[in-house]
Copies of this chain bind each other. A is one copy, B any other.
Amino acid sequence: MFPVVVVHGGSDMVPKERSENSKLGVCSAARAGYAILRAGGSSMDAVVEAVSQLENNPYFNAGCGSVLNIRGEVEMDAIVMDGKTLGSGAVSAVRNIANPIQLARLVMDKTSHVCLTAKGANQFARSMGVAEVPPESLITEYARMRWTKNLAPGTDTGESQMGKMGTVGAVAVDSEGNVACATSTGGLVNKMEGRVGDTSCIGSGGYADNQVGAVSTTGHGEAIMKVTLARLILFHMEQGQSVEAASDLGLAYMESRVGGLGGVVTVDPQGHWAARFSSSQMAWAAAQKDTLHYGLLTGEEFTQSIDDRL
């Protein structure tokens, strides 16, 4: 078994001028996660590090760069899950936190609960000594532009995918065969205040079980929830499907049953991995056996040595 980390940067439609940065971002996050695995670190450490990097990268809808809710504010959701214990930690509608994924991990590690929401999540952050950041520090010019544009009457035209499916996530298997997942998001462009999507919902935004594998999802959150996409894919794997076939079956079912598009990254405990999507694009990268694989459009896969720079 070879340790592997697979990351995604959301299945949102990325404008052409931003696509190069999306690819660079997922590759860099996969490298960071892989460095941890190569040094003998845990899959949980690897996915949290990879997702933290994507949260810190303003080109992704998570942490800094999150989309804005209807009031022009950032409210974020995140989840981690540990396949060894089925332990999970999540936060929803949290504000002023640079790395919600790290806060989600603290919920798992330091409380008897699985999920903390809104100001309760922020209170917990303070009690753990997690610094709160000024709200503006999470808001990019691009996010504000999209928010303003969406406020204008009669919008929501051709860009039906844009701003609906941004989420970042990662799955990994470490040298001990432990699997983990992590998913983080700013949610939906111009969402209602307090809207919680699939990301922080166990079984929808992600799921990890050492007996089966791990999945992190992205896409239209409400559709993902209706079919509990991550858990559904793992059920297919329990019935003998490969990571790739199970991912495709889950995504196809979601599209046919509730009309939603999305994408997933999936691993099994043997180190097989897949990055699959029904949307027109998903930035993704995987690192295994010192090789980096990555792509953005359907069918696209580039390969290079992990130590080369793009």
Q: Which residues of A contact B (CB under 8 A)?
A: 85-88, 90, 92-93, 111-121, 123-124, 188, 191-197, 201-204, 207, 221-222, 225-228, 231-232, 235, 257-258
Contacts and interface: CB of A to CB of B under 8 A. Distances in A.
B226 A115 contact: no
6 contacts: A86-B227, A114-B197, A114-B221, A117-B118, A119-B119, A202-B204
Contacts of A232: 231
A196 B200 CA distance: 10
Contacts of A226: 86-88, 114, 202
Contacts of A117: 92-93, 117-118, 194-196
Most chain B CB within a 10 A radius of its CB, from A85, A117, A232: A117
A124 B194 CA distance: 9
Contacts of A193: 119-120, 123
A195 B86 contact: no
Given A92-B92, A203-B203, A225-B88, A194 B231 contact: no
Most chain B CB within a 10 A radius of its CB, from A85, A112, A113: A113
Nearest to A221: B114
**The 4 residue pairs across chains A and B that have the minimum distance between CB atoms:** A120-B194, A118-B118, A203-B228, A120-B193
A120 to B, nearest CB: 1
Contacts of A201: 115, 201-203
Contacts of A258: 85-86
A218 B251 CA distance: 30
Contact of A192 (B111, B192, B203, B204): B111
Contact of A194 (B116, B192, B221, B257): B116
A232 B202 CA distance: 13
Given A121-B194, A235-B235, 16 more contacts: A85-B258, A86-B227, A92-B92, A113-B192, A113-B197, A114-B197, A115-B197, A116-B194, A116-B196, A117-B118, A120-B192, A201-B203, A202-B226, A202-B228, A207-B228, A231-B231
A209 to B, nearest CB: 9
Most chain B CB within a 10 A radius of its CB, from A86, A188, A191: A86
